[in-house]
A and B are shown apart, each in its own frame.
Chain A
Amino acid sequence: MNSALEKHLNILDYALSALWRHRLKNGGIVVVFAAVIFLVASFQLVTTALTETAGKVLAVTPEITIQRMSAGRQEAIPLAYAEKLHDIFGIRAVVPRVWGYYFDEVRGANYTVLGVSADMPQADELSRAVVGGVMGSGGQGKVVVGRAVSQALQLQPGQLFSLFRPNLSLKAMTVAGIFRPETDLLTADLIAMPLVEARDLFLIPASKATDLCVYISNPAEIGTIAEKISKLLPDTRVLTRPQIQKTYQVVFGWRSGFASVCLLAALAAFAILAWDKASGLSPEERREIAILKILGWETADVLAMRFWEGGLVAGLAFLLGCTLAYLHVVFFGASLFRPVLVGWSVLHPALSLAPHVTLKEVLLLLAFTVVPYLAVTVVPAWRAASVPAESALSG
């Protein structure tokens, strides 16, 4: 074997034995550092998972949503507006949608009610998101509920329940199915039903809808078509799918960023601790380094040994922290951070988070945790390596 490589293996071997000799002190540092990495990595994984989940769910939403605005507030849009759009080339379909919020006073929870048209191009995909049955075309009072709603109201497929109309008369409905857990982020508090049922629940006239969903043949034309719609219907707000996706990213990014700033404080505190530990050479350590140097170890060898020690501590803490973070996010649904990242509503989405971890993210985490640790230990390591060899002599 190459003697330079053998030399480094020897120094690594010595560094490992040194770590073991001071196992209590080093073990403590690994535990604290791993805890900090666990927090940072958990946030990063949760943010990634949420953004991915939102992206998947939003992929089946309409390319353009049109809402009528009056005095800065949204109001029902006449179905006649849809007819004005027929001349715009590239529009595949315009489908009315009715939605609103239903406040459950008993449980203090808000449910989102969504009325969808059977003409909606992605009706099949909606059906695939449902477990237990199909919604039907309307008139039979069949609805699909999110998992949080089913838990709050203790509903199972086939079960009958009632909601109040604005005039306080009761509307009876039957649960046709429950949304799949993968769609929790957007469906947890959702009651989806045929358009006519939603109109009936909110007492919206048949000539109106809450908004219009516009489906485009070529996604590259979303911006152009949205612009044409804005000009054609000046009293409306035109929302595109990319805009909504961006909003989600900004919201998760802001929350994650806020939390990251808080965690950076923890990381900084740990860096100070690491500096303190690495710079405080005990008389025993000074003596050991002086002996090594007088026995023929160069300053670079001692420096390499200190780097191996720091690298092994940081590497072990990194692996431990990342593994715990992955288990925390995937198997425990990031239970420590959910209130921060998924909102403060009464009905929390019971997210099943399965983040797709990329090399870039791992390297980013490494750069924010291990690199600062090694950086703060460079100067103390140099100081340690500069202990004069003659201090091992009697004087």
Chain B
Amino acid sequence: MLIELDSVSKIYNQGQPNEVRALSEVSLAIPPQTMVCLKGPSGSGKSTLLSIIGCIFAPTSGRATIAGKALARLPDRFLTVHRRATIGFIFQRFNILPALSVVDNITLPLLPLGISPKVRRERAVILMDQLAIRHREHFPAGQVSGGELQRVAIARALVNDPPIILADEPTAHLDSRLSSEFMQIMADLKHAGKTIVITSHDPLVTEHPAIDRVVGVKDGRIDVP
């Protein structure tokens, strides 16, 4: 399994009056080259689950193994190193920095890796060509269309060539045409060998034929229908 969670719990502010149990005893296994959708209402624990899969933090208890590494044993610094080698993120509203150019946004994850500007651009150009946004290379990201912006976000998630792509409510602010377009790109990426985890409650995502499995999340637990 590429992603394996075994009885994972996450408690925020443990032992304090404002303690919150966000996840309880969650077990989940995702094999490579599959597309999984985490579905659940706001506050259900989807984002916490995504954060653990995304190596942003380790679980409070339980065992989380992402791309062969057990998170609980990794200090924060190594979590970051593992994250940038393994995970590509696509955010709600895409979280693109509007003042930076398209190419600068795409190459942001490469800066702390010590990759030269020339190599950075070469990698970005390949992705911009694949996603048909090459003509916007030097445009400020704040000036490109919504469809182009989602492709900039996808290119940024792929620039490190990670095996896992995580998308956090990617279609929440997109119209149906752009949502369909987004899911088609995700399907193509799955066929290209990527493992994709999407949080969403949008039927266009949950019912998309490329989705292999929909995992319900409710009150911090896997919701078995």
Residues of A in contact with B (beta carbons under 8 Å apart): 1-7, 10-11, 13-14, 17, 21, 287-288, 291-299, 301, 389-390, 392-395
Cβ of B92 within 8 Å of any chain A Cβ, yes or no, is yes
B89 touches A4 (CB 8 A): no
Interfacial chain B residues near A297, Cβ < 8 Å: 80, 111-112
In angstroms, Cα B168 to Cα A113, docked, is 89
B84 touches A295 (CB 8 A): yes
Knowing A288-B97, A295-B89, the reply to whether A393 touches B113 (Cβ < 8 A) is: no
Interfacial chain B residues near A288, Cβ < 8 Å: 97
Within B32-81, the residues touching A (CB, 8 Å) are: 42, 47, 50-51, 54, 56-57, 76-77, 80-81
What is the predominant secondary structure among interface residues of chain A facing chain B? helix
Interfacial chain B residues near A10, Cβ < 8 Å: 110-112, 114-115, 117
Q: Which of B89, B97, B117 contacts A294 (CB 8 A)?
A: B89
B51 touches A7 (CB 8 A): no
A7 touches B47 (CB 8 A): no
B95 touches A291 (CB 8 A): yes
Cβ of B160 within 8 Å of any chain A Cβ, yes or no, is yes
CB proximity of A17 to chain B, nearest CB, Å: 7
In angstroms, Cα B169 to Cα A294, docked, is 16
Q: Which of B54, B84, B91, B111 contacts A394 (CB 8 A)?
A: B91
Knowing A17-B100, A294-B56, A295-B156, the reply to whether A11 touches B47 (Cβ < 8 A) is: no
Cβ of B146 within 8 Å of any chain A Cβ, yes or no, is no
Within B192-223, the residues touching A (CB, 8 Å) are: 199
Mark B87-119 against chain A: 1 for CB-CB distance below 8 A, else 0: 001011001010110001000111111111100
The 3 residue pairs across chains A and B that have the minimum distance between CB atoms = A296-B84, A3-B114, A7-B114
Interfacial chain B residues near A11, Cβ < 8 Å: 111-112
Interfacial chain A residues near B97, Cβ < 8 Å: 288, 291
In angstroms, Cα B112 to Cα A10, docked, is 7
A295 touches B50 (CB 8 A): no
Interfacial chain B residues near A7, Cβ < 8 Å: 111-114
Cβ of B151 within 8 Å of any chain A Cβ, yes or no, is no
Chain B residue at smallest Cβ distance from A304: B112
In angstroms, Cα B90 to Cα A392, docked, is 10
B50 touches A393 (CB 8 A): yes
In angstroms, Cα B104 to Cα A2, docked, is 22
Cβ of B132 within 8 Å of any chain A Cβ, yes or no, is no
Cβ of B126 within 8 Å of any chain A Cβ, yes or no, is no
B57 touches A296 (CB 8 A): no
Interfacial chain A residues near B95, Cβ < 8 Å: 287, 291, 392
In angstroms, Cα B83 to Cα A178, docked, is 79
Interfacial chain A residues near B99, Cβ < 8 Å: 21
In angstroms, Cα B114 to Cα A5, docked, is 7
A296 touches B91 (CB 8 A): no
Knowing A21-B99, A394-B168, the reply to whether A14 touches B111 (Cβ < 8 A) is: yes
In angstroms, Cα B96 to Cα A294, docked, is 12
Chain B residue at smallest Cβ distance from A10: B111
Cβ of B172 within 8 Å of any chain A Cβ, yes or no, is yes
CB proximity of A295 to chain B, nearest CB, Å: 4
CB proximity of A78 to chain B, nearest CB, Å: 85
Interfacial chain B residues near A292, Cβ < 8 Å: 108
25 A-B contacts (beta carbon < 8 Å): A3-B114, A3-B115, A4-B114, A6-B115, A7-B112, A10-B110, A13-B111, A14-B111, A292-B108, A294-B83, A295-B84, A296-B112, A296-B113, A296-B160, A297-B111, A297-B112, A298-B77, A301-B112, A389-B56, A390-B56, A393-B56, A393-B91, A393-B92, A394-B169, A395-B42
A394 touches B112 (CB 8 A): no
In angstroms, Cα B32 to Cα A23, docked, is 46
B114 touches A390 (CB 8 A): no
Chain A residue at smallest Cβ distance from B100: A17
In angstroms, Cα B91 to Cα A21, docked, is 23
Q: Which of B47, B104, B108 contacts A393 (CB 8 A)?
A: B47
Knowing A17-B100, A291-B95, A295-B89, the reply to whether A390 touches B112 (Cβ < 8 A) is: no
User: Looking at A14, A299, A301, A394, which has the most chain B CB atoms within 10 Å of its CB?
Assistant: A394
Interfacial chain B residues near A13, Cβ < 8 Å: 111, 117
Chain A residue at smallest Cβ distance from B93: A394
Interfacial chain B residues near A393, Cβ < 8 Å: 47, 50-51, 56, 91-92, 168
Chain A residue at smallest Cβ distance from B101: A17
In angstroms, Cα B118 to Cα A1, docked, is 12
Interfacial chain B residues near A295, Cβ < 8 Å: 84, 89, 108-109, 156
Chain B residue at smallest Cβ distance from A287: B95
In angstroms, Cα B97 to Cα A100, docked, is 76
Interfacial chain A residues near B160, Cβ < 8 Å: 296
CB proximity of A125 to chain B, nearest CB, Å: 63
A298 touches B112 (CB 8 A): yes
CB proximity of B131 to chain A, nearest CB, Å: 18
Sample of 7 more A-B contacts, CB < 8 Å, known A7-B114, A392-B95: A7-B111, A294-B91, A296-B113, A297-B80, A301-B112, A390-B51, A394-B168
